[in-house]
Chain A
Amino acid sequence: DGGITQSPKYLFRKEGQNVTLSCEQNLNHDAMYWYRQDPGQGLRLIYYSQIVNDFQKGDIAEGYSVSREKKESFPLTVTSAQKNPTAFYLCASSIVGTGNQPQHFGDGTRLSIL
């Protein structure tokens, strides 16, 4: 079955450390997204990409970086510049274009600070 795989499910970061969250999809979608979810704040867009080797900042990109070297993969790095990284991170993908095509989501990665 097609879908989105996020790993790991739980991740711990030490002070001053960069960590990378993995997101892989086999839906053949061109667009991929990263969201941060905090209690009571819904989903906030970090980065999105509509095509390989191109990506755009979302609303809260500071302290994060991404790459899109392959259509299937969109890893997110949480850098030491992100001072409050504890959150639930969701990766999503969608078909590019207009219409009522929805986003598909992975099961998330919960990041905590040691």
Chain B
Amino acid sequence: AQSVTQLGSHVSVSEGALVLLRCNYSSSVPPYLFWYVQYPNQGLQLLLKYTTGATLVKGINGFEAEFKKSETSFHLTKPSAHMSDAAEYFCAVRATGNQFYFGTGTSLTVIP
């Protein structure tokens, strides 16, 4: 079975500081990994998706994610946090059978 673990349900950073949101997955096959962002009372919006063969994936709004097979991780980063980055972030993996598995989410607070 596939699963996704997000370490840290709440992360706070100062405006302009590095954002690091952690995601680890379990998968017996090459994974299809995604990061989504959710603003209050809205649906999930795709930030980025893993592409086979790439180690660093660039997404929207300046976010990046690094795929490390040896660590089964797909951590999300942004060099400089902006107030508008405050939101809930979800890591997800696509399994066979067209099912998707989501982490429990990380709430990002940006302190001015």
Shortest beta-carbon distance, A2 to chain B, in Å? 14
Q: Which of B43, B46, B50 is the most central at the interface, judged by chain A CB atoms within 10 Å of its CB?
A: B43
In contact, A50 and B98 (Cβ under 8 angstroms): yes
Does B99 sit at the interface, judged by CB under 8 A? yes
The interface size bin for chain B is 20 to 34
Q: A-side interface residues toward B, CB under 8 Å?
A: 4, 6, 31, 33, 40-43, 45, 48, 50, 88, 90, 92, 94, 96-108, 110
In contact, B104 and A103 (Cβ under 8 angstroms): no
In contact, A99 and B99 (Cβ under 8 angstroms): no
Q: What CA separation (Å) do A96 and B94 show in the bound complex?
A: 11
Contacts of A94 in B (CB 8 A): 98, 100
In contact, B104 and A42 (Cβ under 8 angstroms): yes
Shortest beta-carbon distance, B38 to chain A, in Å? 9
Does B84 sit at the interface, judged by CB under 8 A? no
Contacts of A103 in B (CB 8 A): 34, 44, 92, 100
Q: What CA separation (Å) do A21 and B96 show in the bound complex?
A: 28
In the complex, 28 of the A-B residue pairs with CB atoms within 8 angstroms, ordered by the A residue number, are A4-B43, A6-B43, A31-B98, A33-B100, A40-B9, A42-B102, A42-B103, A43-B90, A43-B102, A48-B98, A48-B99, A50-B98, A92-B43, A97-B98, A98-B96, A100-B32, A100-B52, A102-B46, A102-B94, A103-B34, A103-B44, A103-B100, A104-B46, A105-B36, A105-B43, A106-B43, A107-B41, A107-B43
Cβ proximity bits B77-106 to A, threshold 8 Å, 1 near / 0 not: 000000000000010101010111011110
In contact, B45 and A41 (Cβ under 8 angstroms): no
Contact among B9, B42, B98, B103 for A107, CB-based, below 8 A = B42
In contact, A100 and B45 (Cβ under 8 angstroms): no
